[in-house]
Structure 1
Amino acid sequence: MEYKLRTEKPNITTMMEFILLGFSDILNFQWILLGIFLVLYLTILMCNSVIVLITRIDPILQTPMYFFLNHFSILEICYVTATISRMLMDLLNQKGHISFIACATQMYLVLLFGGLECLLLAVMAYDSYVAICNPLHYGLIKSPQVCVQLVTASWVSGVPVVIGQTWPVFSLPFCGPTTINLFFCDPSPIFKLACGDAFVNEIAVYAVAVVFVMVPFLLTVVSYGKIISNILKSPSARGRAKVFSTCSSHLTVVVLFYGTASTTYLQPKQNPSEDTGELISPFYTVWISTLNPSIFTLRNKDITVALRKLLSKLSA
Protein backbone atom coordinates (compact mmCIF):
# COMPACT_ATOMS: atom_id res chain seq x y z
CA MET A 1 0.00 0.00 0.00
CA GLU A 2 1.21 3.47 -0.86
CA TYR A 3 1.00 6.50 1.36
CA LYS A 4 2.20 10.05 1.07
CA LEU A 5 4.78 11.63 3.31
CA ARG A 6 5.89 15.23 3.67
CA THR A 7 9.44 15.75 4.92
CA GLU A 8 9.88 18.61 7.38
CA LYS A 9 13.23 17.84 9.04
CA PRO A 10 16.00 15.34 8.35
CA ASN A 11 14.93 11.84 9.40
CA ILE A 12 11.54 13.14 10.61
CA THR A 13 8.42 12.96 8.45
CA THR A 14 4.83 13.96 8.96
CA MET A 15 2.29 11.45 7.71
CA MET A 16 -0.41 12.76 5.42
CA GLU A 17 -2.58 9.64 5.70
CA PHE A 18 -3.08 6.50 7.73
CA ILE A 19 -4.09 2.99 6.71
CA LEU A 20 -6.99 1.37 8.55
CA LEU A 21 -6.37 -2.37 8.45
CA GLY A 22 -9.85 -3.32 9.68
CA PHE A 23 -10.60 -6.79 8.35
CA SER A 24 -7.84 -6.83 5.73
CA ASP A 25 -6.47 -10.11 7.12
CA ILE A 26 -9.60 -11.97 5.97
CA LEU A 27 -9.82 -10.79 2.36
CA ASN A 28 -11.77 -13.89 1.30
CA PHE A 29 -14.73 -12.73 3.38
CA GLN A 30 -14.70 -9.04 2.43
CA TRP A 31 -17.95 -9.21 0.43
CA ILE A 32 -19.70 -11.28 3.11
CA LEU A 33 -18.68 -8.75 5.76
CA LEU A 34 -19.79 -5.91 3.49
CA GLY A 35 -23.24 -7.48 3.16
CA ILE A 36 -23.55 -8.17 6.90
CA PHE A 37 -22.51 -4.70 8.04
CA LEU A 38 -24.58 -3.01 5.31
CA VAL A 39 -27.69 -4.85 6.51
CA LEU A 40 -26.88 -3.95 10.13
CA TYR A 41 -26.29 -0.30 9.23
CA LEU A 42 -29.56 -0.03 7.31
CA THR A 43 -31.36 -1.77 10.18
CA ILE A 44 -29.95 0.75 12.68
CA LEU A 45 -30.94 3.67 10.44
CA MET A 46 -34.46 2.33 9.87
CA CYS A 47 -35.24 1.31 13.46
CA ASN A 48 -33.92 4.49 15.05
CA SER A 49 -35.60 6.64 12.40
CA VAL A 50 -38.92 4.95 13.22
CA ILE A 51 -38.39 5.69 16.93
CA VAL A 52 -37.60 9.33 16.11
CA LEU A 53 -40.72 9.55 13.95
CA ILE A 54 -43.22 8.03 16.36
CA THR A 55 -41.87 9.91 19.39
CA ARG A 56 -42.43 13.14 17.48
CA ILE A 57 -45.88 12.51 15.98
CA ASP A 58 -47.70 10.32 18.52
CA PRO A 59 -49.53 12.36 21.20
CA ILE A 60 -49.11 9.60 23.82
CA LEU A 61 -45.32 9.78 23.52
CA GLN A 62 -45.02 13.51 24.19
CA THR A 63 -43.36 13.02 27.59
CA PRO A 64 -39.82 13.71 28.87
CA MET A 65 -38.89 10.01 28.73
CA TYR A 66 -39.67 9.76 25.03
CA PHE A 67 -38.19 13.18 24.34
CA PHE A 68 -34.85 11.87 25.61
CA LEU A 69 -35.33 8.58 23.75
CA ASN A 70 -35.87 10.60 20.57
CA HIS A 71 -32.51 12.36 20.99
CA PHE A 72 -30.80 9.13 22.01
CA SER A 73 -31.96 7.50 18.74
CA ILE A 74 -30.63 10.48 16.76
CA LEU A 75 -27.28 10.09 18.53
CA GLU A 76 -27.24 6.36 17.72
CA ILE A 77 -27.63 7.16 14.02
CA CYS A 78 -24.85 9.76 14.16
CA TYR A 79 -22.52 7.56 16.21
CA VAL A 80 -22.78 4.54 13.95
CA THR A 81 -22.60 6.63 10.79
CA ALA A 82 -19.31 8.13 11.99
CA THR A 83 -17.74 4.66 12.13
CA ILE A 84 -19.51 2.11 9.97
CA SER A 85 -19.97 4.28 6.85
CA ARG A 86 -16.18 4.54 6.49
CA MET A 87 -15.77 0.81 7.11
CA LEU A 88 -18.34 -0.01 4.41
CA MET A 89 -16.45 2.16 1.93
CA ASP A 90 -13.15 0.45 2.80
CA LEU A 91 -14.72 -3.00 2.44
CA LEU A 92 -16.17 -1.98 -0.93
CA ASN A 93 -12.97 -0.65 -2.49
CA GLN A 94 -10.70 -2.92 -0.40
CA LYS A 95 -8.53 0.04 0.60
CA GLY A 96 -8.01 1.47 4.06
CA HIS A 97 -6.43 4.82 3.22
CA ILE A 98 -7.71 7.72 5.32
CA SER A 99 -6.26 11.20 5.26
CA PHE A 100 -4.84 12.93 8.33
CA ILE A 101 -7.75 15.41 8.42
CA ALA A 102 -10.38 12.73 7.81
CA CYS A 103 -8.93 10.59 10.60
CA ALA A 104 -8.98 13.53 13.04
CA THR A 105 -12.54 14.38 12.03
CA GLN A 106 -13.71 10.81 12.45
CA MET A 107 -12.09 10.53 15.88
CA TYR A 108 -13.66 13.82 16.95
CA LEU A 109 -17.13 12.67 15.88
CA VAL A 110 -16.82 9.21 17.45
CA LEU A 111 -15.64 10.68 20.77
CA LEU A 112 -18.31 13.41 20.63
CA PHE A 113 -21.26 11.12 19.94
CA GLY A 114 -19.98 8.47 22.34
CA GLY A 115 -19.56 11.04 25.10
CA LEU A 116 -22.98 12.54 24.40
CA GLU A 117 -24.53 9.08 24.76
CA CYS A 118 -22.93 8.83 28.22
CA LEU A 119 -24.44 12.18 29.19
CA LEU A 120 -27.84 11.36 27.74
CA LEU A 121 -27.95 7.98 29.48
CA ALA A 122 -27.28 9.82 32.75
CA VAL A 123 -30.08 12.29 31.98
CA MET A 124 -32.46 9.41 31.20
CA ALA A 125 -31.47 7.66 34.45
CA TYR A 126 -32.23 10.86 36.37
CA ASP A 127 -35.57 11.08 34.56
CA SER A 128 -36.42 7.54 35.72
CA TYR A 129 -35.34 8.43 39.26
CA VAL A 130 -37.63 11.46 39.41
CA ALA A 131 -40.54 9.52 37.89
CA ILE A 132 -40.23 6.64 40.38
CA CYS A 133 -38.94 8.30 43.55
CA ASN A 134 -40.58 11.73 43.29
CA PRO A 135 -43.64 11.27 41.05
CA LEU A 136 -45.71 14.10 42.57
CA HIS A 137 -43.15 16.70 41.48
CA TYR A 138 -42.26 15.04 38.17
CA GLY A 139 -44.17 17.51 36.01
CA LEU A 140 -42.56 20.48 37.75
CA ILE A 141 -39.00 19.10 37.75
CA LYS A 142 -39.14 17.76 34.21
CA SER A 143 -40.87 20.59 32.40
CA PRO A 144 -40.37 20.88 28.61
CA GLN A 145 -37.98 23.78 29.16
CA VAL A 146 -35.83 21.76 31.57
CA CYS A 147 -35.72 18.81 29.14
CA VAL A 148 -34.52 21.06 26.30
CA GLN A 149 -31.94 22.65 28.60
CA LEU A 150 -30.56 19.24 29.65
CA VAL A 151 -30.15 18.08 26.05
CA THR A 152 -28.66 21.41 24.98
CA ALA A 153 -26.23 21.37 27.92
CA SER A 154 -25.09 17.87 26.90
CA TRP A 155 -24.26 19.04 23.38
CA VAL A 156 -22.65 22.31 24.44
CA SER A 157 -20.46 20.70 27.10
CA GLY A 158 -19.41 17.86 24.79
CA VAL A 159 -17.99 19.97 21.94
CA PRO A 160 -15.09 21.72 23.77
CA VAL A 161 -14.30 18.60 25.81
CA VAL A 162 -13.84 16.47 22.70
CA ILE A 163 -11.75 19.18 21.02
CA GLY A 164 -9.54 18.96 24.09
CA GLN A 165 -9.23 15.22 23.50
CA THR A 166 -8.62 15.30 19.74
CA TRP A 167 -6.08 18.13 19.58
CA PRO A 168 -3.40 16.48 21.80
CA VAL A 169 -3.52 13.38 19.58
CA PHE A 170 -3.05 15.07 16.21
CA SER A 171 -0.71 17.81 17.39
CA LEU A 172 1.99 15.13 17.66
CA PRO A 173 4.48 14.40 14.84
CA PHE A 174 4.06 11.00 13.18
CA CYS A 175 6.80 9.18 11.31
CA GLY A 176 5.49 5.66 10.73
CA PRO A 177 4.42 2.97 10.50
CA THR A 178 1.07 4.17 9.21
CA THR A 179 -1.16 1.19 9.93
CA ILE A 180 -3.99 1.18 12.48
CA ASN A 181 -5.35 -2.25 13.40
CA LEU A 182 -8.96 -1.05 13.59
CA PHE A 183 -11.66 0.03 11.16
CA PHE A 184 -11.91 3.54 12.61
CA CYS A 185 -9.54 6.11 14.12
CA ASP A 186 -9.10 5.68 17.87
CA PRO A 187 -6.65 7.53 20.16
CA SER A 188 -4.82 4.50 21.59
CA PRO A 189 -3.42 2.99 18.35
CA ILE A 190 -2.66 6.44 16.90
CA PHE A 191 -0.55 7.37 19.94
CA LYS A 192 1.62 4.35 19.13
CA LEU A 193 2.43 5.86 15.73
CA ALA A 194 3.75 9.13 17.16
CA CYS A 195 7.42 10.05 17.07
CA GLY A 196 9.04 10.74 20.41
CA ASP A 197 7.41 10.80 23.82
CA ALA A 198 3.62 11.12 23.80
CA PHE A 199 3.17 10.43 27.52
CA VAL A 200 1.97 13.91 28.46
CA ASN A 201 -0.50 13.97 25.56
CA GLU A 202 -1.82 10.54 26.49
CA ILE A 203 -2.33 11.55 30.11
CA ALA A 204 -4.18 14.69 29.02
CA VAL A 205 -6.49 12.77 26.67
CA TYR A 206 -7.26 9.94 29.08
CA ALA A 207 -7.72 12.29 32.06
CA VAL A 208 -10.36 14.22 30.13
CA ALA A 209 -11.96 10.94 29.00
CA VAL A 210 -12.13 9.62 32.56
CA VAL A 211 -13.84 12.78 33.82
CA PHE A 212 -16.16 13.00 30.80
CA VAL A 213 -17.23 9.36 31.16
CA MET A 214 -17.05 8.79 34.91
CA VAL A 215 -19.17 11.79 35.93
CA PRO A 216 -22.27 10.70 33.94
CA PHE A 217 -21.56 7.06 34.83
CA LEU A 218 -21.56 7.86 38.56
CA LEU A 219 -24.73 9.94 38.17
CA THR A 220 -26.34 6.97 36.43
CA VAL A 221 -25.23 4.56 39.16
CA VAL A 222 -26.49 6.89 41.92
CA SER A 223 -29.85 7.32 40.18
CA TYR A 224 -30.35 3.58 39.80
CA GLY A 225 -29.12 2.96 43.34
CA LYS A 226 -31.94 5.17 44.63
CA ILE A 227 -34.42 3.62 42.19
CA ILE A 228 -33.58 0.09 43.35
CA SER A 229 -33.76 1.18 46.99
CA ASN A 230 -37.20 2.65 46.34
CA ILE A 231 -38.38 -0.50 44.55
CA LEU A 232 -37.26 -2.73 47.41
CA LYS A 233 -39.29 -0.64 49.86
CA SER A 234 -42.50 -1.37 47.97
CA PRO A 235 -44.65 -3.85 49.94
CA SER A 236 -46.27 -5.29 46.83
CA ALA A 237 -44.36 -7.72 44.62
CA ARG A 238 -46.61 -6.78 41.72
CA GLY A 239 -45.88 -3.12 42.36
CA ARG A 240 -42.13 -3.77 42.43
CA ALA A 241 -42.31 -5.64 39.12
CA LYS A 242 -44.36 -2.85 37.51
CA VAL A 243 -41.97 -0.13 38.67
CA PHE A 244 -38.89 -2.07 37.60
CA SER A 245 -40.37 -2.74 34.15
CA THR A 246 -40.55 1.02 33.50
CA CYS A 247 -36.76 1.40 33.67
CA SER A 248 -35.52 -2.12 32.80
CA SER A 249 -34.99 -1.26 29.12
CA HIS A 250 -32.85 1.75 29.90
CA LEU A 251 -30.90 -0.18 32.54
CA THR A 252 -30.19 -2.94 30.00
CA VAL A 253 -28.84 -0.39 27.51
CA VAL A 254 -26.66 1.17 30.23
CA VAL A 255 -25.17 -2.20 31.19
CA LEU A 256 -24.46 -3.12 27.56
CA PHE A 257 -23.02 0.31 26.73
CA TYR A 258 -20.63 0.58 29.67
CA GLY A 259 -19.91 -3.15 29.78
CA THR A 260 -18.66 -3.37 26.20
CA ALA A 261 -16.90 0.01 26.48
CA SER A 262 -14.95 -1.10 29.54
CA THR A 263 -14.08 -4.39 27.86
CA THR A 264 -12.79 -2.51 24.83
CA TYR A 265 -10.80 0.26 26.50
CA LEU A 266 -9.70 -1.31 29.79
CA GLN A 267 -7.71 -4.22 28.35
CA PRO A 268 -4.33 -4.73 30.06
CA LYS A 269 -1.49 -3.01 28.21
CA GLN A 270 1.10 -5.62 29.15
CA ASN A 271 -0.03 -8.04 26.47
CA PRO A 272 -2.80 -6.43 24.46
CA SER A 273 -4.70 -8.68 22.11
CA GLU A 274 -5.12 -6.89 18.81
CA ASP A 275 -7.39 -9.62 17.48
CA THR A 276 -9.67 -9.30 20.51
CA GLY A 277 -9.79 -5.53 20.14
CA GLU A 278 -10.65 -5.86 16.47
CA LEU A 279 -13.52 -8.22 17.25
CA ILE A 280 -14.87 -6.23 20.19
CA SER A 281 -14.81 -2.80 18.54
CA PRO A 282 -17.43 -3.73 15.88
CA PHE A 283 -19.53 -5.25 18.65
CA TYR A 284 -19.27 -2.05 20.67
CA THR A 285 -20.00 0.31 17.79
CA VAL A 286 -22.42 -1.72 15.67
CA TRP A 287 -23.95 -4.68 17.48
CA ILE A 288 -25.05 -2.69 20.54
CA SER A 289 -26.57 0.01 18.34
CA THR A 290 -28.47 -2.73 16.51
CA LEU A 291 -29.86 -4.12 19.77
CA ASN A 292 -30.84 -0.82 21.37
CA PRO A 293 -34.00 -0.10 19.31
CA SER A 294 -35.42 -3.56 20.04
CA ILE A 295 -34.56 -3.24 23.74
CA PHE A 296 -36.40 0.08 23.98
CA THR A 297 -39.44 -1.04 21.95
CA LEU A 298 -40.18 -4.70 22.72
CA ARG A 299 -40.82 -4.12 26.45
CA ASN A 300 -42.55 -0.76 25.99
CA LYS A 301 -46.31 -0.94 25.47
CA ASP A 302 -46.67 2.73 24.52
CA ILE A 303 -44.14 2.42 21.69
CA THR A 304 -45.67 -0.88 20.56
CA VAL A 305 -49.11 0.72 20.35
CA ALA A 306 -47.66 3.74 18.51
CA LEU A 307 -45.95 1.43 16.01
CA ARG A 308 -49.19 -0.45 15.35
CA LYS A 309 -51.02 2.83 14.77
CA LEU A 310 -48.31 3.98 12.36
CA LEU A 311 -48.36 0.69 10.45
CA SER A 312 -52.15 0.75 10.21
CA LYS A 313 -52.03 4.27 8.78
CA LEU A 314 -49.38 3.28 6.24
CA SER A 315 -51.28 0.17 5.16
CA ALA A 316 -54.64 1.96 4.93
Structure 2
Amino acid sequence: MTDGGALLRRLGDAAANVRGRLTPDAPMDAITWFRAGGPAELLFQPADEEDLSSFLKALPDDVPITVVGVGSNLLVREAGIRGVVIRLSAKGFGQAEATGDNTIRAGAAVPDKKVAAVALEVGIGGFHFYHGIPGAIGGALRMNAGANGVETRERVVSVRAIDRQGEVREFSNAQMGYAYRHSSAPKDLIFVSAEFEGYAEDRDAIRTAMDAVQTHRETVQPIREKTGGSTFKNPEGTSAWKEIDKAGCRGLMIGGAQISPMHCNFMINTGSATGYDLEYLGETVRARVLEHSGIRLEWEIKRIGDFKPGHEVQEFLGQLL
Protein backbone atom coordinates (compact mmCIF):
# COMPACT_ATOMS: atom_id res chain seq x y z
CA MET A 1 0.00 0.00 0.00
CA THR A 2 1.10 3.55 -0.66
CA ASP A 3 1.72 6.07 2.13
CA GLY A 4 1.90 9.48 0.51
CA GLY A 5 2.03 11.34 3.80
CA ALA A 6 5.18 9.52 4.90
CA LEU A 7 6.85 10.12 1.54
CA LEU A 8 5.92 13.79 1.63
CA ARG A 9 7.50 14.18 5.07
CA ARG A 10 10.61 12.34 3.94
CA LEU A 11 11.14 14.67 0.97
CA GLY A 12 11.55 17.68 3.25
CA ASP A 13 13.01 20.62 1.30
CA ALA A 14 12.33 18.95 -2.04
CA ALA A 15 8.64 19.20 -1.22
CA ALA A 16 8.68 22.45 0.74
CA ASN A 17 10.17 24.54 -2.05
CA VAL A 18 7.91 23.56 -4.94
CA ARG A 19 5.49 26.05 -6.46
CA GLY A 20 3.31 23.38 -8.00
CA ARG A 21 0.90 20.97 -6.31
CA LEU A 22 1.80 17.86 -4.29
CA THR A 23 -1.05 15.45 -3.49
CA PRO A 24 -0.44 12.42 -1.25
CA ASP A 25 -2.33 9.20 -2.13
CA ALA A 26 -3.90 10.82 -5.17
CA PRO A 27 -6.74 8.75 -6.70
CA MET A 28 -5.62 7.72 -10.19
CA ASP A 29 -9.10 6.49 -11.10
CA ALA A 30 -10.02 10.18 -11.31
CA ILE A 31 -7.34 10.71 -13.97
CA THR A 32 -7.41 7.61 -16.16
CA TRP A 33 -10.01 7.37 -18.89
CA PHE A 34 -10.73 3.81 -17.74
CA ARG A 35 -11.79 5.30 -14.39
CA ALA A 36 -10.07 2.47 -12.55
CA GLY A 37 -6.89 1.82 -10.60
CA GLY A 38 -5.21 2.45 -7.26
CA PRO A 39 -3.67 5.70 -5.91
CA ALA A 40 -0.41 7.46 -6.65
CA GLU A 41 1.73 7.59 -3.51
CA LEU A 42 2.55 11.23 -4.27
CA LEU A 43 1.28 13.15 -7.28
CA PHE A 44 3.34 16.18 -8.36
CA GLN A 45 2.02 18.77 -10.79
CA PRO A 46 4.89 21.24 -11.36
CA ALA A 47 4.12 24.89 -11.95
CA ASP A 48 6.57 25.15 -14.85
CA GLU A 49 9.84 23.80 -16.25
CA GLU A 50 11.99 25.48 -13.58
CA ASP A 51 9.80 24.07 -10.80
CA LEU A 52 10.12 20.56 -12.24
CA SER A 53 13.88 20.86 -12.62
CA SER A 54 14.38 22.09 -9.04
CA PHE A 55 12.20 19.32 -7.63
CA LEU A 56 14.09 16.61 -9.50
CA LYS A 57 17.47 17.96 -8.41
CA ALA A 58 16.37 17.70 -4.76
CA LEU A 59 14.59 14.34 -5.07
CA PRO A 60 16.46 11.36 -3.52
CA ASP A 61 17.73 8.93 -6.14
CA ASP A 62 15.89 5.96 -4.62
CA VAL A 63 12.42 7.50 -5.01
CA PRO A 64 10.75 6.04 -8.13
CA ILE A 65 9.30 8.43 -10.71
CA THR A 66 6.41 7.72 -13.06
CA VAL A 67 5.23 10.23 -15.66
CA VAL A 68 1.60 10.29 -16.79
CA GLY A 69 -0.31 12.48 -19.22
CA VAL A 70 -4.06 12.92 -19.61
CA GLY A 71 -4.63 9.26 -18.71
CA SER A 72 -6.14 8.22 -22.03
CA ASN A 73 -3.76 5.33 -22.74
CA LEU A 74 -3.15 4.20 -19.17
CA LEU A 75 -4.10 1.22 -17.01
CA VAL A 76 -3.24 1.58 -13.30
CA ARG A 77 -3.10 -1.57 -11.18
CA GLU A 78 -5.14 -1.83 -7.99
CA ALA A 79 -2.36 -1.43 -5.39
CA GLY A 80 -1.36 1.90 -6.89
CA ILE A 81 1.93 3.49 -7.87
CA ARG A 82 4.87 3.81 -5.51
CA GLY A 83 6.99 6.96 -5.42
CA VAL A 84 6.27 10.20 -7.23
CA VAL A 85 3.86 10.40 -10.16
CA ILE A 86 4.51 13.51 -12.26
CA ARG A 87 1.70 15.01 -14.28
CA LEU A 88 2.56 18.20 -16.15
CA SER A 89 0.09 21.03 -15.58
CA ALA A 90 -1.84 22.63 -18.41
CA LYS A 91 -0.91 26.07 -17.07
CA GLY A 92 2.84 25.43 -17.18
CA PHE A 93 3.12 23.05 -20.13
CA GLY A 94 -0.09 23.48 -22.11
CA GLN A 95 0.76 26.15 -24.66
CA ALA A 96 0.93 25.65 -28.44
CA GLU A 97 1.76 28.26 -31.05
CA ALA A 98 3.03 28.67 -34.58
CA THR A 99 6.70 29.72 -34.49
CA GLY A 100 7.38 30.02 -38.21
CA ASP A 101 5.79 29.60 -41.61
CA ASN A 102 5.28 25.86 -41.13
CA THR A 103 6.47 25.18 -37.58
CA ILE A 104 4.64 24.75 -34.27
CA ARG A 105 6.02 24.59 -30.73
CA ALA A 106 3.87 22.74 -28.21
CA GLY A 107 4.19 21.91 -24.53
CA ALA A 108 3.99 18.29 -23.44
CA ALA A 109 0.62 18.82 -21.72
CA VAL A 110 -1.01 20.19 -24.87
CA PRO A 111 -3.81 17.89 -26.10
CA ASP A 112 -3.04 16.46 -29.53
CA LYS A 113 -6.32 17.90 -30.81
CA LYS A 114 -5.17 21.41 -29.86
CA VAL A 115 -2.06 21.07 -32.04
CA ALA A 116 -4.30 20.06 -34.93
CA ALA A 117 -6.47 23.12 -34.25
CA VAL A 118 -3.47 25.48 -34.19
CA ALA A 119 -2.24 24.02 -37.47
CA LEU A 120 -5.66 24.56 -39.03
CA GLU A 121 -5.79 28.16 -37.81
CA VAL A 122 -2.48 29.09 -39.45
CA GLY A 123 -2.72 26.87 -42.53
CA ILE A 124 -0.08 24.24 -41.73
CA GLY A 125 -0.79 20.81 -43.18
CA GLY A 126 0.22 17.41 -41.87
CA PHE A 127 -1.33 17.59 -38.39
CA HIS A 128 -4.90 16.47 -39.13
CA PHE A 129 -4.17 13.02 -37.65
CA TYR A 130 -3.73 14.55 -34.19
CA HIS A 131 -7.41 15.54 -34.31
CA GLY A 132 -8.25 11.88 -33.74
CA ILE A 133 -5.76 10.97 -30.99
CA PRO A 134 -7.17 11.40 -27.45
CA GLY A 135 -3.89 12.12 -25.70
CA ALA A 136 -1.31 14.84 -25.07
CA ILE A 137 1.94 15.71 -26.82
CA GLY A 138 4.17 14.18 -24.13
CA GLY A 139 2.66 10.75 -24.70
CA ALA A 140 2.72 11.21 -28.47
CA LEU A 141 6.46 11.93 -28.31
CA ARG A 142 7.15 8.93 -26.10
CA MET A 143 5.17 6.35 -28.08
CA ASN A 144 5.32 7.86 -31.57
CA ALA A 145 1.54 8.18 -31.64
CA GLY A 146 -0.07 7.94 -35.02
CA ALA A 147 -3.37 7.61 -36.84
CA ASN A 148 -4.77 7.75 -40.36
CA GLY A 149 -1.45 6.82 -41.93
CA VAL A 150 0.65 9.53 -40.22
CA GLU A 151 2.97 9.24 -37.20
CA THR A 152 4.45 11.75 -34.78
CA ARG A 153 7.99 11.08 -36.04
CA GLU A 154 7.03 12.56 -39.43
CA ARG A 155 6.38 15.95 -37.83
CA VAL A 156 8.97 16.20 -35.00
CA VAL A 157 11.97 18.49 -35.48
CA SER A 158 13.35 18.57 -31.93
CA VAL A 159 12.33 17.63 -28.40
CA ARG A 160 13.09 19.39 -25.11
CA ALA A 161 13.26 17.23 -21.97
CA ILE A 162 14.39 17.17 -18.35
CA ASP A 163 16.29 14.14 -17.08
CA ARG A 164 16.18 12.44 -13.66
CA GLN A 165 18.90 14.78 -12.36
CA GLY A 166 16.87 17.86 -13.31
CA GLU A 167 19.05 18.84 -16.26
CA VAL A 168 17.52 20.22 -19.47
CA ARG A 169 18.35 18.24 -22.62
CA GLU A 170 17.54 18.67 -26.32
CA PHE A 171 17.05 15.86 -28.82
CA SER A 172 16.83 15.86 -32.59
CA ASN A 173 14.32 13.71 -34.44
CA ALA A 174 17.04 11.16 -35.22
CA GLN A 175 18.14 10.99 -31.58
CA MET A 176 14.61 9.99 -30.52
CA GLY A 177 15.03 6.60 -32.19
CA TYR A 178 11.49 6.35 -33.47
CA ALA A 179 9.86 3.14 -34.65
CA TYR A 180 6.25 1.94 -34.75
CA ARG A 181 4.61 3.06 -31.47
CA HIS A 182 8.06 3.36 -29.91
CA SER A 183 10.85 5.76 -29.04
CA SER A 184 14.27 4.63 -27.84
CA ALA A 185 14.93 7.91 -25.99
CA PRO A 186 16.07 7.29 -22.38
CA LYS A 187 13.18 6.20 -20.15
CA ASP A 188 14.04 8.68 -17.40
CA LEU A 189 13.39 11.68 -19.62
CA ILE A 190 10.39 13.90 -18.97
CA PHE A 191 9.44 15.58 -22.22
CA VAL A 192 8.41 19.19 -21.67
CA SER A 193 7.97 20.56 -25.21
CA ALA A 194 8.74 19.92 -28.85
CA GLU A 195 9.00 21.70 -32.18
CA PHE A 196 7.09 20.28 -35.12
CA GLU A 197 7.12 21.05 -38.83
CA GLY A 198 4.41 20.60 -41.44
CA TYR A 199 3.79 22.20 -44.81
CA ALA A 200 1.65 24.97 -46.25
CA GLU A 201 -1.85 23.77 -47.05
CA ASP A 202 -5.23 25.31 -47.78
CA ARG A 203 -7.36 25.59 -44.64
CA ASP A 204 -10.39 24.05 -46.34
CA ALA A 205 -8.33 20.99 -47.23
CA ILE A 206 -7.07 20.72 -43.64
CA ARG A 207 -10.59 21.06 -42.28
CA THR A 208 -11.85 18.37 -44.66
CA ALA A 209 -9.10 15.98 -43.50
CA MET A 210 -9.89 16.68 -39.84
CA ASP A 211 -13.59 16.09 -40.42
CA ALA A 212 -12.79 12.76 -42.06
CA VAL A 213 -10.73 11.76 -39.02
CA GLN A 214 -13.57 12.67 -36.66
CA THR A 215 -16.18 10.85 -38.74
CA HIS A 216 -14.04 7.73 -38.81
CA ARG A 217 -13.61 7.76 -35.03
CA GLU A 218 -17.30 8.27 -34.35
CA THR A 219 -18.25 5.53 -36.80
CA VAL A 220 -15.92 2.69 -35.77
CA GLN A 221 -14.61 3.47 -32.25
CA PRO A 222 -16.40 3.47 -28.86
CA ILE A 223 -15.27 7.01 -28.07
CA ARG A 224 -18.10 7.70 -25.62
CA GLU A 225 -17.21 4.77 -23.37
CA LYS A 226 -14.67 4.54 -20.53
CA THR A 227 -11.83 3.25 -22.68
CA GLY A 228 -8.07 3.49 -23.08
CA GLY A 229 -7.97 3.68 -26.86
CA SER A 230 -6.20 1.02 -28.91
CA THR A 231 -5.30 -1.82 -26.55
CA PHE A 232 -2.69 -3.65 -28.63
CA LYS A 233 -0.19 -2.72 -31.30
CA ASN A 234 -0.93 -3.98 -34.80
CA PRO A 235 1.19 -7.06 -35.58
CA GLU A 236 3.19 -7.01 -38.78
CA GLY A 237 1.01 -7.84 -41.77
CA THR A 238 -2.35 -7.74 -40.00
CA SER A 239 -4.53 -5.72 -37.61
CA ALA A 240 -4.92 -6.43 -33.91
CA TRP A 241 -8.70 -6.15 -34.09
CA LYS A 242 -8.91 -8.74 -36.88
CA GLU A 243 -6.90 -11.28 -34.90
CA ILE A 244 -8.95 -10.59 -31.74
CA ASP A 245 -12.17 -11.05 -33.70
CA LYS A 246 -10.96 -14.28 -35.33
CA ALA A 247 -10.10 -15.63 -31.86
CA GLY A 248 -13.72 -15.11 -30.82
CA CYS A 249 -13.13 -12.27 -28.36
CA ARG A 250 -15.52 -9.61 -29.66
CA GLY A 251 -17.73 -8.58 -26.73
CA LEU A 252 -15.83 -10.82 -24.25
CA MET A 253 -16.37 -9.76 -20.61
CA ILE A 254 -14.46 -10.32 -17.38
CA GLY A 255 -15.98 -8.61 -14.37
CA GLY A 256 -16.85 -5.09 -15.43
CA ALA A 257 -14.37 -5.07 -18.32
CA GLN A 258 -15.40 -5.82 -21.89
CA ILE A 259 -13.87 -6.05 -25.35
CA SER A 260 -15.90 -3.53 -27.30
CA PRO A 261 -18.49 -5.13 -29.59
CA MET A 262 -17.94 -2.09 -31.84
CA HIS A 263 -14.14 -2.32 -32.18
CA CYS A 264 -12.27 -5.42 -30.95
CA ASN A 265 -9.06 -3.54 -30.15
CA PHE A 266 -10.77 -1.38 -27.53
CA MET A 267 -11.40 -2.46 -23.94
CA ILE A 268 -14.13 -0.64 -22.06
CA ASN A 269 -15.10 -0.25 -18.42
CA THR A 270 -18.82 -0.98 -18.38
CA GLY A 271 -19.10 0.71 -14.99
CA SER A 272 -17.50 -1.44 -12.29
CA ALA A 273 -14.24 -2.70 -13.82
CA THR A 274 -11.10 -2.80 -11.68
CA GLY A 275 -7.55 -2.60 -12.94
CA TYR A 276 -7.41 -6.37 -12.41
CA ASP A 277 -10.51 -6.95 -14.57
CA LEU A 278 -9.07 -4.89 -17.41
CA GLU A 279 -5.60 -6.42 -17.38
CA TYR A 280 -6.92 -9.97 -16.96
CA LEU A 281 -9.24 -9.40 -19.91
CA GLY A 282 -6.34 -8.11 -21.99
CA GLU A 283 -4.16 -11.11 -21.14
CA THR A 284 -7.06 -13.47 -21.85
CA VAL A 285 -7.31 -11.96 -25.31
CA ARG A 286 -3.55 -12.28 -25.82
CA ALA A 287 -3.67 -15.94 -24.78
CA ARG A 288 -6.57 -16.74 -27.10
CA VAL A 289 -5.01 -14.96 -30.06
CA LEU A 290 -1.72 -16.78 -29.41
CA GLU A 291 -3.54 -20.12 -29.30
CA HIS A 292 -5.64 -19.34 -32.40
CA SER A 293 -3.09 -17.75 -34.73
CA GLY A 294 0.31 -17.99 -33.05
CA ILE A 295 0.53 -14.18 -32.87
CA ARG A 296 1.81 -12.58 -29.67
CA LEU A 297 -0.05 -9.29 -29.37
CA GLU A 298 1.91 -6.49 -27.69
CA TRP A 299 0.22 -4.04 -25.35
CA GLU A 300 -0.12 -0.49 -26.63
CA ILE A 301 -1.81 0.66 -23.45
CA LYS A 302 0.71 1.51 -20.73
CA ARG A 303 0.20 -0.58 -17.58
CA ILE A 304 1.75 0.78 -14.38
CA GLY A 305 1.66 0.26 -10.63
CA ASP A 306 1.59 -2.78 -8.36
CA PHE A 307 -0.76 -5.71 -8.33
CA LYS A 308 -3.06 -6.12 -5.34
CA PRO A 309 -2.04 -9.34 -3.50
CA GLY A 310 -4.04 -12.21 -4.93
CA HIS A 311 -4.86 -10.19 -8.07
CA GLU A 312 -1.64 -10.71 -10.01
CA VAL A 313 -1.97 -11.17 -13.77
CA GLN A 314 0.58 -13.19 -15.72
CA GLU A 315 1.56 -12.48 -19.31
CA PHE A 316 -0.57 -14.59 -21.67
CA LEU A 317 -2.04 -16.04 -18.44
CA GLY A 318 1.15 -18.03 -17.90
CA GLN A 319 1.34 -19.74 -21.28
CA LEU A 320 4.82 -20.65 -22.50
CA LEU A 321 6.31 -17.68 -24.40
Q: Greater share of strand residues, 1 or 2? A: 2
Measured against the shorter chain, the TM-score band is under 0.3
| Structure with larger RCO (C-alpha < 8 A, sep 6+) | 1
Which structure has the greater CA radius of gyration? 1
TM-score in terms of structure 1 length: 0.27
Q: Greater share of helix residues, 1 or 2? A: 1
